[in-house]
Amino acid sequence: MATLYCEDEEYISAFTIKARSFQEVDLVKEVQQWQHIELTLTSGNRALSFASDFDPEKRLSMDHVLARHTTDANQLAKDATAGKNATGNKNTKDLAEAVLDIQTVANAYVLCRKPQDEINHLTKQLKDLIEGKKNRVLFEPAEPSFELALEVSAGSYRVECFIDAGNVETGIYRWDALGVRFFTDQKRIANFIEELENEFKL
């Protein structure tokens, strides 16, 4: 796991991200790879964790997916019907599974690893921050489940992290979130970067 700690050694606050299972979504024109994650906010002796894992045995039924009326689900359902008429059951089955996979990703704590690697994107931004190439980092995954912000502040770094559990649990983008904020330093950010690279090594 990778943990970003505060600079206060008496009352510890922290943000932790831990790698969990991989999930591939095989779309018509590309294969996407997503990684489920566990997020933990720590403040003193209190800690809250948020996580989801891909379990093929517990996927929603096609009827449940379509009942959510998501754009991707509706479009793929139409494509699946067209595929069945044109080429038989295989296309229908493949597209139906893609619908289920997309819905699982949309309702989970995940990071995209392919075609875009969000971990590489985050670590690059953090390196630019501690090297003085930028004054602020704002990171939110493509499937929004958390927001991490760091900003240079009077020789230190101000950190704010909010967990958007409502996005994950309802499938609707919401601004309300639960978070932690603290100050940290360059050494702790560098350690966080190293831990991220080790934790999420492909």
Confidence of residue 52 (pLDDT cuts 50, 70, 90): confident
26, part of any domain = no
Whether 128 and 190 share a structural domain: yes
Picking from 32, 161, 30, 28, the residue whose alpha carbon sits closest to that of residue 105 is: 32
Task: Print the domain residue range for 66.
Answer: 62-106
Q: CATH code at 10? A: 3.30.2450
pLDDT at position 127: 98
Give the type of residue at 114: K
54, part of any domain = no
Using CB atoms within 10 Å of the CB of residue 63, give its burial: 0 to 12 exposed, 13 to 18 middle, 19+ buried: exposed
Pairwise CA distance, residues 154 & 158, whole Å: 9
137, part of any domain = yes
55, part of any domain = no
Picking from 22, 26, 24, 23, the residue whose alpha carbon sits closest to that of residue 94 is: 26
Distance between first and last Cα of the chain: 14
Whether 86 and 135 share a structural domain: no
Whether 96 and 67 share a structural domain: yes
Whether 42 and 95 share a structural domain: no
For residue 85, pLDDT beyond 80: no
Residue 146: CB partners within 8 Å, gap ≥ 6? Answer: 39, 50, 109, 140, 161, 162, 163, 164, 177
How many CB atoms are closer than 10 A to CB 191? 15
Whether 45 and 124 share a structural domain: yes
Which is more confident, 88 or 132?
132
Comparing 87-101, 135-149, 160-174, the range with the smallest average pLDDT is 87-101
pLDDT at position 121: 97
Whether 174 and 155 share a structural domain: yes
Whether 94 and 69 share a structural domain: yes
Give the type of residue at 9: E
Whether 41 and 137 share a structural domain: yes
Q: Which residues make beta-bridge pairs with 166?
A: none
Q: How many domains does the chain have?
A: 2
